[in-house]
Structure formats: C-alpha cells, structure tokens
Structure 1
Amino acid sequence: MNLRYHRPGEGPRAVVEAQRSWLFFIHSFQCIESSILLLMAFDRFVAICNPLRYASILTLPRIAKMGLVFVLVRFALTAPLPFLLKRFRYCRANVLSHSYCVHQEVMKMACSDITVNSIYGLVVTFLTMGLDSLLILLSYVMILKTVLSIASHVECLRALNTCVSHLCIVLLFYTPEISLSVIHRFGKGSSPLLQILLAYVYLLIPPLMNPIVYSVKSRHLRDKIIRVFFK
C-alpha cells in the first residue's frame, strides 16, 4: 500500500517540509520508549540483585533525574534528523510506503548523496535502541545469575515471574524496530510488504500490548476480563 502525501502542485520538497516535524516527534518518542524499557530493566535488576538497598538506590528524585536525562539525550540525538533532510534537493516521486514519516524512507526521496544521513541514522539507532537492548540483555544476565544462586526453586520462579511481562514487551518493541532499520539500509531486494508490516507492528503493537501483557499478571484485572468475555 503506497500513500501519496501531496496536494495539487506540491512537489517532494513541500512534502518533506510538511513531514519533518512529525518525523522528529515520532523518532524521539520511540527513543524515549526504549529508554523507559531500559529504566524498567534497571528497576528489576536492583529489586532482585540488591533488594535491601532498593529504596535507597531508586529514590524519587533520582528516578526523576534519570528520566529527565534520558528525555533530553534522546531529543538531542534525534534533533539533527530534520535538518539533515532539509539540506537535500528532492526530485523523486513523493511516495511513502508507510502511513507515518520514517527517516530511512524520506531520505531516499532526495537526489543528493544520502551517505551522511544513512550513517547518522544508523548511529542514532545503535546508540538508542541498540545500546538500550544490550544493557537490558546485560541486566537480565545479571538477574539470571542472581536467581540461579537462590537455593529455593519456589523463590527462584517467583523472582523470574516478576520479569516475564517486561521481557515480552522488550521483545515486541525491539525485534521489529531493529529488523526494520536493517532492512531499510541493507535489504535492497526485500519485499515492500514486509517493510510495511514491520513498520505497523513496531508502531502499534507495543502500545496496544502493554496494558494486555501487564493486566494478565494481575489476578484482579484478569478475572474482570474473563467476566466481560464469558458472561
């Protein structure tokens, strides 16, 4: 499905000018969502590996400062993307295959050399999504190491059970994002349908599945959902 973003007499440059602000906010909020998942993994790491100092380590002022730093850093990393697009001359067909603005696709509308954009976009992806996913993986390796050292199997399972929901959301968020970024840059012969499907999965599935995944862990909410569907 191709979506043409133009009005009569409107060329590719006008289309890009209209979409640059949306591009900035979409990519910024996606990076912030990634940082939230990283902070949640850190929360689980402290709660399981150092439970006695949990309240003293994760105080409200410290949590607020970490959140603010992540937001400012992610905005700073994505801010150059619209300006890097503005310097191009656009002469190709103004056709976007997604229903929302993606930097990897908009830069391909340019007639100029897009090497800088491609490299910077890839660097931003790995400094945000890539680095966050590696740190989350490291935190869960440490959690697993701590949990396996627990003598009681019941306590071991109880500790792991607190991480199941977060792990599901992490997989739903990072798998399509990293796949889509790699396909856009290196998958020249990949199916456009696959790119569109991954884009929609990445944009819609994590926010939709968040409340569902976490409500399944709550017996009170689970019972209410069952009563709604099986009256």
Structure 2
Amino acid sequence: MKTTNTTLIKDATHKRQAPTRVWVLEEMPSKSWGEMNRYIRKNSDAMHLPPWMEQADEWPEITPERFIELRKFMLQLKAVQCAALLRVNPSTVWRWENGSIPIPFAAYMALRLLLDVRFLPHQVKEWEGWQIINAGPDVGMLYDSKRSGTMVSPGDIRAARYAKGERDAWQRRAEKAETKAAELEAENTRLRQLFNAQGVTKELRQMQEKLSAMLDDIGTAEIIDYRPAAASHHQEKAA
C-alpha cells in the first residue's frame, strides 16, 4: 500500500472540493482475504481499487445457506453429485453445509459458473449459433452466425419489448374498432330494413285510401229505376 499525493477533484461545475486521498493497491495482499476485506471496507471512502478487487468485493459472504440454495435448489444437485463435480469427498460437502469448515470461494464460484453455463446459447437449441461479439466495432452485439446473420444490441432487445407492447396496444384498438364497425353495420342494416318497411307501409296506406274513396263513391251513387220494355207494356194494358 502507498499513498499518492493529495489530489483536488473538480465536479461538473468546476467548484473545488475537499482534497481526497487516493490509495493504490499494487500487489496481492499478504493478509487473508477476510482481514483485507475488513480493511477495505473501513477505508473505502479513500480508496480506488483495481477492477479485480472491486469485482471480488461485490460477492456476498459465502454462507452454508447460500451454498445449499445454489447446490440444492438452483442447480438441483445432490450432495454426492456436487462432491463428484468438485472432486472432493461427500463428507466435505456435508461439512461445508453444516458450517464445520469454511466453504472455499473457488468451490462456490465453480457452482455459480456451472449455473451460468447451463443457460448459455449453445445449451438451448433455439439459440444455437448465437454468440456475443467480443472484439471489433460491433463488440457486445448478439450475432446469429449460422442462420440469418442478424445482429442485435442490448438496446434493440429492450426496444423490442416496448415495440411489442405498442403492437399489442394497437391490436387491441383494431379489435375494438372492428367490433364497433360490426355493430354500426348491423345498425345500418336494421335502419335500412326499417326504412324499406316504412315505405311499404306508406304505399299500403295510400292503396287503402284509394279503396276507401272508391267505396265511398259506390255508396253515394244515384239509383236509377230500370225495368224491361215488355214488362212496362203489360202493365199499361192491364190498367
């Protein structure tokens, strides 16, 4: 450990801040990791650690409960299977899990890596041929190397979720519009039928009025006495 010269740090507004000590870790600490970790946490406000130590410090404490959860529930391994995988005696795994002896970080990390590997693209048929580009201008892109040659970024995947949401929303709107259009079409058909029915009714009423007028004409017609000529001559002779 060594301390560099005091450094003044400026923020975005270029206002001077209080001087900050910058600690640089140059080599692997000779103390145990537990002691070193406590020292780091105690002086974390004044230390700038190398990336490998920052990453290691992110790992939670490895407890028997965490190990059992990873082994039994996440990986679904029996203790004997776990022992065979880690090349240790089954009794060692049991002692790890009952807290008799500390759990090696390497053993826990091996199980974590196994969990990650189980869900890598080559383990799932639908993702066969997909890989993450690790160099060049397209670094970090997910690339379909065997089929379509499609290349997507994490942003594309996130955007696809919102695009799907928009598509579903528009689909729901379209379905509602289709339902409303069907209702309006049915209403239009009903009104046209009603209009036609009213036209027929009107025509029948007009016919009824004409028939009534004709019947009235017949009822008020003058009655003319009409008798045959022979009958009239016979009546006159008799008189």
Normalising by structure 1, what TM-score?
Answer: 0.22
Normalising by structure 2, what TM-score?
Answer: 0.21
Q: Which has the larger radius of gyration?
A: 2
Q: Which has the higher contact order (CA 8 A, sep 6+)?
A: 1
Q: Which has the larger helix fraction?
A: 1
